[in-house]
Amino acid sequence: MAAEQEGPDASGPALAGDARRVAARVLERVWEESAFASAALDAELSRLTVLDGRDAGLATELVYGVLRTQAFLEEQIDKLAVSRRWAGDPAVRAHLLMGAYSLLFLDRVPAFAAVSEAVNAMRVVADDRVGAFANAVLRRLADEAAKGRPALIDAVVASAPGWLRGALRRAIGRAGASAFLSAGPVPPPLGLCLAPAEDREAWIARLGEAAKGATIEAGKASPHAILVRGAGELRRLPGFGETWIGQEEGAQVVALLLGAKPGERVLDACAGRGNKTWLLSRRVGATGDVEAADLHPNKLRVAATTGARATYAVDWSAGTGRVPEGYDRVLVDAPCSGVGTLRRRPEIGLKREAGDLERLSSLQVAIARSAASRAREGGRLVFAVCSVLREECEGVVERLSSDPGPGEPEVKLVPTPFDAEEALALGLPEGASSVRLLPHVHGTDGYFAAMFTVHH
Ligand SMILES: C[S@@+](CC[C@H](N)C(=O)[O-])C[C@H]1O[C@@H](n2cnc3c(N)ncnc32)[C@H](O)[C@@H]1O
């Protein structure tokens, strides 16, 4: 990263160049190291403590904006450039795409500032020839933009990979797909899960005192949710890990839809680090019992600190390991494409491909059937994914509802209406046995959950 300090520019703060350098570094890490944008951004921003909130905001907007509109921006640049050499150098590519994004979509950056910022940055990461090339391309793009700018929504939709657009349209229709892809805010606020939920107003006030200047409000879909923006590191706030944990609001709803009641015995079958285990253990209370299973023992070590009474390392696709039987309720929060988290993780569009869906849905069916065999006769199972695609949602429900094939565990899964009060609060029709949470409808990340009764 270049050490020189650029002079003040018309975009306002003297450190706008630093915001762009941070954003460029994050984009490079996403492209070259398959880093997650949000984690890379947090890491880069915490290294550069001189950035104020406004510059951090600009860096965030540039990273998410470029990743969401990347294919569209590249197409605009390709129309004006004689070769694609610019795309071969990640630093050049990042600054050129950020320049194009600023010109086309950032009202607060005047065109001449967007061009000069990008060109100056390019002269630092490459040579004068590249700077001259960027200058020519961006000036022509600025001329085009002066005649009329494209709509951000169209650019976001056009930039989604074709297979994803197709899969979204099959699942939620053409208008739903566009609304899903362009749903904001991007990035969304962080979710806190508070238990007990009754104290929510008091905790919003308390957290507001501790994090002056942050935006803190109640979530709408989960009664346990508090949504936070601009509060800095969450673990520094009062109550962290005891009264609340960091958890996206839709993820809370999924845990609640299991309908766990005080005194029940619950298995969190794909518990990961135990985020849902934490809420489930508070729902069953001291007379109940939540146990956690997962493929990865290292994740289970964290899950063990969230209220799980026992943990089991198991590969559900190969058997049931040492996991006992007789659970009243089983949550299968299955591995999936993660497409539902697109507005939080825009790089998912770059990482996944069409072929993933068949592989993942077969794994989801195998895991759910195997975990279902651990439920008691008449027990409940919720299958959930942070995806909204038909192949991972209704497609899996159809396969689970049919009789097991040769070699599959002898369990019968019957779709059954949700019995959690929280399902009614979502406005689900009475008798609904599945739900798709959508960012543009519920304000949460995208999820799908379906309830079954288990028979042996
Ligand atoms: C969507 S994540 C679960 C997230 C977790 N429930 C939470 O709320 O944070 C899916 C989990 O399934 C686990 N997993 C993947 N394949 C598995 C398998 N074959 N058997 C058991 N667990 C598996 C992964 O390790 C991962 O933790």
Q: Which protein residue has the closest C-alpha to ligand 1 atom 11?
A: 270
| Residue 292 sits in the same domain as residue 407 | yes
If residue 206 lies in a helix (H) or strand (E), which one and from where to where?
Answer: helix 200-210
212 located within any domain: yes
What pLDDT, on a 0 to 100 scale, did the predictor assign at position 386?
A: 97
pLDDT for 14 equals 39
Cα angle 25, 299, 422; round to 5: 95
Helix (H) or strand (E) holding 252: helix 249-257
CATH at 260: 3.40.50.150
Residues 411-434 have pLDDT tens digits of 999 999 999 988 777 888 889 999
pLDDT digits (tens, 9 = 90+) for 215-237: 999 999 999 999 999 888 888 99
Report the pLDDT value the prediction gives residue 2, as an integer from 0 to 100.
31
The closest residue, in CA terms, to atom 20 on ligand 1 is 315
- Report CA-CA distances (Å) from 436 to 28, 218, 253, 367, 380: 34, 21, 11, 20, 19
Whether the predicted pLDDT of 183 surpasses 80: yes
Q: Tell me the CA end-to-end span of the chain in Å, nearest whole number.
A: 61
Which parts are annotated binding residues for S-adenosyl-L-methionine? 294, 333
Q: What is the pLDDT of residue 354?
A: 87
Phi, psi of 443 (to 5 degrees): 80, 5
Q: Using an 8 Å Cβ cutoff, are 440 and 180 in contact? A: yes
CA of 322 to the centre of ligand 1 (A): 17
Domain count, the chain: 3
Q: How far apart are CA 444 and CA 438, in angstroms?
A: 6
Same domain membership, residue 202 and residue 139 = no
Tokens of 309: 């009474």
8 A C-beta contact, residue 377 and residue 420: no
Q: Percent of the chain, pLDDT > 70?
A: 96
Q: CB atoms < 10 A from the CB of 286, how many?
A: 8
Cα R_g (the chain), whole angstroms: 24
Helix (H, G, I), strand (E, B) or coil at 282: helix
Structure tokens at 11: 């975009």
- Kindly tell me if the per-residue pLDDT of 174 is higher than 80: yes
Maximum CA pair distance of the chain? 73
Average of pLDDT values for 335-341?
96
How many whole angstroms separate alpha carbon 298 and alpha carbon 73?
40
Residue 80 lies in a domain: yes
138, 76: one domain: yes
Cα separation, 268 vs 60, whole angstroms: 34
In a shared domain, residues 379 and 253: yes
SS3 readout for 326-386: CEEEEEEECCCCCHHHCCCCCCHHHHCCCCHHHHHHHHHHHHHHHHHCCEEEEEEEEEEEC
Alpha-carbon distance 152 to 102, whole Å? Answer: 12
Give residue 49's pLDDT. Answer: 65
Token duo for residue 168: 């979204």
Same domain for 412 and 365? yes
The verdict on residue 389 lying in a domain is yes
ipTM: 0.99
Measured CA to CA, the distance from residue 114 to residue 131 in angstroms comes to: 13
Count of residues making up the chain = 456
The residue whose CA has the least distance to atom 1 of ligand 1 is: 335
Q: Is residue 266 assigned to a domain?
A: yes
Are 297 and 446 in the same domain? yes
Which residue has better confidence, 181 or 7? 181
Same domain? 351 vs 410: yes
The region, left, alpha or beta by phi > 0 then psi within -120 to 50, assigned to residue 230 is left
Nearest to 258, CA basis, from 40, 430, 452: 452
Asked if residue 217 and residue 123 are part of one domain, the reply reads no
Domain boundary among 206, 226, 246: 246
For this structure, is 270 an active site residue? no
Q: Are 439 and 183 within 8 A, CB to CB?
A: yes
Cross-strand pairs, 455: 412
Annotated binding-site positions:
294, 333
Residue among 270, 280, 305 whose CB has most ligand 1 atoms within 8 A, to mutate = 270
Q: Which of 270, 336, 386, 393 is catalytic?
A: 386
User: Residue 322 falls within a domain, yes or no?
Assistant: yes
Give the closest residue (by CA) to ligand 1 atom 3: 272
Regarding whether 299 and 219 lie in a shared domain, the answer is no
Domain match, 134 and 68 both: yes
Q: For residue 200, how far is its CA from the centre of ligand 1 (angstroms)? A: 29
**CB-CB contact of 345 with 36 (8 Å):** yes
Enter the tokens of residue 222.
């989960």
- What's the pLDDT score for residue 1? 30
* Residues facing residue 310 across a β-bridge: 291
CATH number at residue 78: 1.10.940.10
- pLDDT at position 184 is 83
Judged against a pLDDT cut of 90, whether residue 285 lies above it is answered with yes
Atom of ligand 1 nearest to the CA of 255: 8
Please tell me whether residues 345 and 228 are part of one structural domain: no
- 114 within domain boundaries: yes
Q: What is the CATH number of the domain that holds 217?
A: 3.30.70
Of ligand 1's listed atoms, the one at least distance from the Cα of 272 is 27
Residues with CB under 6 A from ligand 1: 251, 270-273, 275-276, 294-296, 299, 314-317, 333, 335, 367
Please choose, from the candidates 265, 72, 258, 267, the residue with its C-alpha nearest in 3D space to the C-alpha of residue 181.
72
Residue 7: per-residue pLDDT: 32
For residue 137, being part of any structural domain is answered with yes
- Do residues 109 and 132 both lie within one domain? yes
Residue 65: the pLDDT is 95
Q: Which atom of ligand 1 is nearest to the CA of 334?
A: 10
Q: How confident is the model at residue 60 (pLDDT cuts 50, 70, 90)?
A: very high
**DSSP one-letter string for 48-80:** -TT--HHHHHHHHHHHHHHHHHHHHHHHHHHHH
How far, CA to CA in Å, does 451 sit from each of 210, 336, 340, 400? 40, 18, 19, 11
Q: Which domain holds residue 202?
A: 190-246
User: What number is the average pLDDT over the span 49-61?
Assistant: 82
Which of 246, 275, 292 is the endpoint of a domain?
246
User: What band does 297 get if pLDDT is binned at 50, 70 and 90?
Assistant: very high
Q: Is the pLDDT of residue 442 over 90?
A: yes
Q: For residue 16, name the pLDDT band (cuts at 50, 70, 90).
A: low
Dist. CA 313–CA 296, nearest whole Å: 6
- Main-chain dihedrals φ then ψ at residue 331, nearest 5 degrees: -100, 125
Rounded Cα gap, residues 104 and 106, in angstroms: 6
The answer to the question of residue 180 being in a domain is no
Q: State the pLDDT confidence band at 46, using cuts at 50, 70 and 90.
A: confident
- What was the pLDDT predicted at 13? 40
Helix (H) or strand (E) holding 250: helix 249-257
pLDDT of residue 15: 47
Q: Using the predicted structure, report yes or no on whether residue 389 has a pLDDT greater than 90.
A: yes
Give 335 Cα–ligand 1 centroid separation in angstroms.
5
**C-alpha torsion 394→400→401→405, nearest 10:** 140
CA–CA dist 255, 286 (Å, integer): 18
CA-nearest residue for atom 17, ligand 1, is 295
